[in-house]
């Protein structure tokens, strides 16, 4: 891993600060949630305490029997033509309660009504939903809540059944009735609604009015659409009429299973009891099959209507605030009234900023509820019996906005600090990398043609890199001294050995002129061979020094490489008769600015090397190319291929790779001299293996002179 990446990783470690900030925000959110929950619990207990004993608000109570208005109860009549019902006649009017009834009896009646509302729901009781909006009376269920558990089903048998859904909004009772009827029958149009021959399917509503009296209305339709309710009233001479009841509206729509009836009834007409009866006829005027929550003989209600007083909504509204929902329930869990402001803004600020929404992804726990709830029991005046339950629900907007505000400021600061730290560390790493790159380039280019470069960058720096640079400079200085000594060692040794070698050779010449035995002449011949070999070694040791000196003093001229190489190849054919030489030269001139003597000396070294490594009778090819205005000399031989590990060292000084059977002295200076001459002409030397076998040594020289 590079230094930049290491320091960048170190800088990214500062991201622990935002992580710690998120952890702190979660703890702060938990504390805020707990505080809001305690506050909401206190609010719910306060509202529940204000409703203690208020059965007049929680439940709609019938007027006591001693009320003077009790004698005004409407007459209840049986539906004409109902199954097993006597001929329609006015229902007996309840006798008026004597005025002497005491107020204690009235209070007892009120208490009995409240206690009745607290009893568990019976099979015929209805507990309307607290609707959030008024449904449109059109005979369709689109505006009603999708709550299957709120429906109640009544049936007589498999072919006769209906299900009912009730709801309350403001001061209206809404009823949705879905009747299963394989053969719906409408009333005959334009006929007297009391004519038995015109009767079709009918729906009866049984209502106990607020004064405790029973009254009934029926709904009959001549076709889909709006339907009016009618009540049956007796006339002065015993006849009956069916005037419209304008306060009750309805809509009748057919369904694949039968028909659907949607009804709206003012709560001012309804007391504590309410029921529905369906008269199902297979043909007009036929005997009906009656079933529902009314008695079929006198249409009196069998079940209660558990609904809160209309004033309860107004009472709860005074406690409302944005983001809060309050619901009052019966002890059994039916909703009596609900005030809902959950969707209203909290007023704590504008819309949540995008940055805060991004931060929420790191803080919010998946699956965590964003609402808090609290409940409290509502007791009677004596605090002995539970008459209801209050539930309060609050959104998380209040504490989430507070948390988001603090979290945004904290994360903005920590992320900005982290970003600045990362940028500074990355810049520092880049600066260190630049300094290290200068040291690397200086170390790679320390070895030049003239020796080692002892000047090193960063030696003036007063840090650890400065210490490293100064140590490298000292090391290179010592290596330069040692290299200079090695370069002059061959010349010094040749100079020092040449005089003793001359003495040895002159002594051998004198001994050969003397009369010596044959055995002694054998030793003289061996000594002569050894001196010749030693002399060859001295010449080879001084060759590199002489070439370097010749290069330093060579004069550059413009000359044509083509005749120079042609003449040299012709000389090689005479010098090496055991090899065949092939010259591949351009037809035109190839003019170079350089030293022709050095080029010939370089070519001599290349041919010597090719002869040494090629088998007898093989062909050595000398080729001259001029690609891209540069001269390239190539020498191919069919010798053994170069091993992969020596290609990079082939042109180094004093390095050789010869067969063990070669007894001639070699010091590895031939190709080194080739490299020196190529570099003198602004080029380079390289070697490569040929695909068909053999080796090619190529020398790329400097730019040609245009003619």
DSSP-derived secondary structure for 501-524: HHHHHHHHHHHHHS---HHHHHHH
The residue with greater pLDDT, 596 or 336, is 596
pLDDT tier at 461, thresholds 50, 70, 90? confident
pLDDT tier at 450, thresholds 50, 70, 90? low
Mean pLDDT of 105-124: 58
The residue with greater pLDDT, 530 or 649, is 530
pLDDT for the residue numbered 68:
37
pLDDT for the residue numbered 82:
40
Mean pLDDT of 449-463: 71
Kindly list the domain boundaries of the chain, sorted by start residue. 3-56+310-412, 73-91+102-292, 458-553, 554-703
pLDDT for the residue numbered 352:
54
Domain 554-703 has CATH 2.60.40.1250: no
pLDDT tier at 117, thresholds 50, 70, 90? low
Query: Does residue 95 carry a pLDDT above 60?
Result: no
pLDDT for the residue numbered 94:
35
pLDDT tier at 61, thresholds 50, 70, 90? low
Angle (nearest 5°) at CA 415 between 410 and 417: 95
Pair type for strands 225-231 and 214-220:
antiparallel
The CATH classification number of 458-553 equals: 1.10.287
Eight-state DSSP code of residue 181: -
pLDDT for the residue numbered 579:
92
* Segments in 274-318 forming alpha helices (H): 311-317
pLDDT for the residue numbered 666:
54
In CATH, what is the architecture of 73-91+102-292?
Sandwich (2.60)
pLDDT for the residue numbered 85:
37
* Strand ranges, E, within 238-300: 240-241, 244-255, 258-266, 274-280, 289-292
pLDDT for the residue numbered 395:
81
pLDDT for the residue numbered 108:
46
Angle (nearest 5°) at CA 99 between 97 and 105: 70
Q: What rounded mean pLDDT belongs to the chain?
A: 80
What percent of the chain stands above pLDDT 70? 80
pLDDT for the residue numbered 103:
42
Minimum mean pLDDT range among 39-43, 282-286, 425-429:
425-429
Count of other CB atoms within 10 angstroms of residue 189? 9
* Segments in 554-659 forming alpha helices (H): 561-575, 596-613
């Amino acid at each position: 891993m590079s230094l930049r990446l290491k320091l960048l990783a170190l800088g990214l470690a500062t991201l622990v600060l935002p992580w710690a900030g998120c952890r702190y925000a979660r703890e702060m959110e938990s504390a805020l949630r707990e505080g809001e929950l305690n506050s909401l619990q206190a609010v719910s207990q306060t509202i529940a305490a204000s409703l203690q004993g208020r059965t007049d608000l929680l439940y709609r109570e019938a007027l006591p029997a001693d009320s003077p208005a009790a004698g005004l109860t409407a007459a209840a009549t049986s539906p004409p033509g109902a199954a097993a019902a006597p001929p329609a006649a006015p229902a007996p009017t309840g006798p008026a309660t004597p005025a002497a009834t005491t107020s204690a009896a009235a209070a007892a009646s009120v208490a009995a009504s409240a206690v009745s509302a607290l009893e568990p729901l019976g099979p015929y009781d209805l507990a309307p939903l607290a609707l959030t909006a008024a449904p449109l009376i059109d005979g369709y269920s689109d505006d009603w809540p999708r709550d299957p558990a709120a429906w109640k089903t009544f049936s007589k048998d498999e072919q006769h059944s209906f299900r009912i859904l009730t709801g309350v909004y403001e001061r209206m009772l809404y009823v949705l009735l879905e009747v299963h009827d394989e053969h719906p029958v409408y009333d005959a149009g334009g006929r007297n609604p009391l004519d038995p021959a015109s009767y079709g399917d009918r729906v009866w509503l049984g209502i106990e009015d607020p004064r405790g009296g029973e009254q009934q209305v029926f709904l009959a339709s001549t076709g889909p659409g709006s339907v009016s309710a009618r009540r049956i009233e007796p006339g002065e001479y015993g006849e009956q009429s069916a005037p419209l009841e304008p306060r009750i509206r309805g809509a009748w729509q057919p369904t694949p299973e039968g028909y659907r009836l949607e009804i709206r009834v003012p709560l001012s007409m309804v007391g504590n009891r309410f029921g529905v009866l369906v008269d199902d006829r297979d043909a007009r005027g036929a005997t009906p099959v009656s079933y529902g929550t009314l008695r079929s003989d006198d249409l009196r209600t069998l079940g209660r209507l558990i609904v809160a007083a209309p004033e309860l909504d107004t009472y709860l509204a005074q406690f409302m605030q944005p983001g809060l929902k309050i619901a009052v329930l019966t002890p059994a869990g039916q909703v009596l009234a609900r005030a809902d402001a959950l969707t209203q803004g909290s007023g704590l600020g504008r819309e949540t900023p995008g940055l805060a929404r991004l931060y929420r992804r790191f803080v919010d726990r998946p699956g965590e509820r964003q609402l808090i709830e609290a409940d409290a029991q509502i007791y009677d005046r004596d605090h002995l019996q539970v008459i209801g339950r209050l539930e309060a629900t609050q959104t998380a907007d209040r504490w989430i906005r507070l948390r988001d505000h603090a979290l945004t400021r904290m994360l903005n600061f920590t992320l900005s600090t982290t970003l600045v730290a990362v940028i500074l560390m990355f810049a520092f790493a880049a600066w260190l990398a630049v300094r290290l790159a200068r040291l690397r380039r200086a170390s790679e280019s320390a070895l030049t043609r003239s020796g080692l470069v002892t000047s090193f960058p960063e030696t003036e720096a007063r840090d650890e890199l400065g210490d490293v640079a100064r140590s490298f400079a000292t090391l290179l200085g010592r290596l330069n001294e040692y290299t200079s000594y090695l370069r002059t060692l061959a010349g010094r040794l040749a100079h020092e050995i040449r005089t003793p070698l001359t003495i040895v050779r002159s002594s051998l010449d004198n001994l050969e002129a003397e009369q010596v035995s044959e055995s002694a002449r054998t030793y003289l011949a061996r000594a002569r061979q050894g001196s010749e070999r030693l002399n060859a070694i001295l010449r080879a040791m001084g060759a590199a020094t002489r070439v370097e000196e010749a290069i330093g003093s060579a004069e550059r001229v413009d000359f044509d490489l083509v005749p120079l190489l042609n003449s040299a190849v012709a000389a090689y054919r005479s010098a090496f008769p055991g090899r065949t030489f092939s010259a591949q030269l351009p037809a035109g001139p190839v003019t170079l600015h350089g030293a022709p003597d050095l080029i010939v000396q370089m070519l001599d070294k290349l041919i010597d090397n090719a002869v040494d490594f090629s088998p007898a009778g093989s062909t050595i090819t000398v080729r001259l190319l001029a690609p891209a205005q540069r001269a390239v000399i190539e020498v191919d031989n069919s010798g053994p291929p170069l091993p992969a590990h020596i290609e990079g060292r082939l042109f180094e000084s004093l390095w050789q790779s010869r067969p063990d059977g070669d007894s001639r002295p070699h010091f590895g200076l031939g190709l080194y001299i080739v490299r020196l001459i190529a570099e003198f002409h602004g080029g380079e030397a390289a070697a490569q293996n040929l695909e068909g076998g053999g080796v090619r040594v190529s020398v790329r020289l400097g730019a040609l002179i245009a003619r």
